Amino acid sequence: MYITTLLTNPAAPCLDEAMVTSLRNAWGGGDARWLSEGEAAEFPLEAQPENLWEVWADLQTQKVDLVVQPEAGRRKKMLLADMDSTMIQQECIDELAAEAGVGPRVAEITARAMNGELDFEGALRERVGLLEGLDAGVIDQVIANRITLMPGGPELLATMKAAGAYAALVSGGFTAFTARIAGRLGFDENRANSLEIAEGALTGKVIDPILGRAAKVTALEEITAKLGISEAEVMAVGDGANDLGMLGRAGAGVALHAKPVVAAECDRRINHGDLSALLYLQGYAKSEFVTPPQG
């Protein structure tokens, strides 16, 4: 049995009953269930439709995301998440670069690296090199003034953790950011790269080893082994080329507002919804979302 989920941007919901009913009838699905009125709905199917991607493309023009996945085991026991442009709305290194006066150059390299056009490690070293001499105190300023959480993230963490799931933040960015974001959202652990700092300033170097695509897969392997769960019980989410390894290995790999090269490799693509989509994909209704603690 399969489950079809349709969802939209919660800030501008545009899913109507006629759209859901029409697709259910066309595919011979079972009774529809509204997870959130106007925002997300699902219905069961006996088989995956042959015209899935044609319908997906049509719904994209109407700002509706569509996912068809096996019903069994869709509620996961672990969340493995990227940070930049996934759990937060920015790329941390781009924000640091803007403060250092090299924003456009670094942002260009970041975009190419995340789209798989450049070697991740080489691109990271080049970008960090451009930050040499930047006052380390700028990191706190960037976190306070430039970094915003991706909508739906606090509810995603609070709800999955309330259900007993483990949450790990794995980033090709920097521990100075992941530690703060992980603490704010309630992740159980975080892994990232470390910026070298000397005499209160960035040296322009990253402390080895570099955490990239392979290290995210290693995190998946190590944490699932530690928890005694299978990789099939993991939901992974990311947007860049360095996330493809973990997205492909996890039981549910979700490409969130992802680069084209990443989306093309994933069956679960969220282009219009926010992180709450990851709860809808697991069958949670909005009434089941856990409100995260304030502060």
pLDDT in the model for residue 100: 87
Q: Does residue 186 carry a pLDDT above 80? A: yes
pLDDT in the model for residue 118: 83
Q: Residue range 199-228: average pLDDT?
A: 94
Residue at 180: amino acid letter: R
294 confidence band (pLDDT: 50, 70, 90):
low
Catalytic residue chosen out of the listed positions 82, 94, 239, 274: 82
Helices and strands (H and E) in the chain: how many: 12, 11
pLDDT in the model for residue 254: 98
Q: How far from 52 is each of 65, 200, 228, CA to CA, in Å?
A: 12, 54, 35
* pLDDT digit string, tens, across residues 236-253: 999 999 999 999 999 999
Give strand pairing partners of 201. 135, 198
pLDDT in the model for residue 113: 84
120 confidence band (pLDDT: 50, 70, 90):
confident
Q: How far from 6 is each of 39, 90, 256, 268, CA to CA, in Å?
A: 8, 26, 15, 11
Cβ(238)–Cβ(81) under 8 Å?
yes
Give the CA count within 13 Å in the CB-facing half-sphere of 80.
30
Q: Residue range 128-147: average pLDDT?
A: 94
Cβ(167)–Cβ(291) under 8 Å?
no
Q: Is residue 188 among the annotated active site residues?
A: no
Catalytic residue chosen out of the listed positions 84, 239, 243, 274: 84
* pLDDT digit string, tens, across residues 165-180: 999 999 999 999 999 9
User: pTM higher than 0.85, yes or no?
Assistant: yes
Strands 189-198 and 201-207: antiparallel
Tokens of 138: 């700028």
295 confidence band (pLDDT: 50, 70, 90):
low
Q: Is residue 84 among the annotated active site residues?
A: yes
6 confidence band (pLDDT: 50, 70, 90):
very high
Enumerate domains of the chain plus CATH numbers: 1-72 (3.30.70.260), 75-91+148-295 (3.40.50.1000)
Q: What gap in Å lies between CA 159 and CA 263, rounded to an integer?
A: 26
* pLDDT digit string, tens, across residues 61-81: 999 999 999 999 999 999 999
* pLDDT digit string, tens, across residues 36-58: 999 999 999 999 999 999 999 99
Q: Does residue 34 carry a pLDDT above 70? A: yes
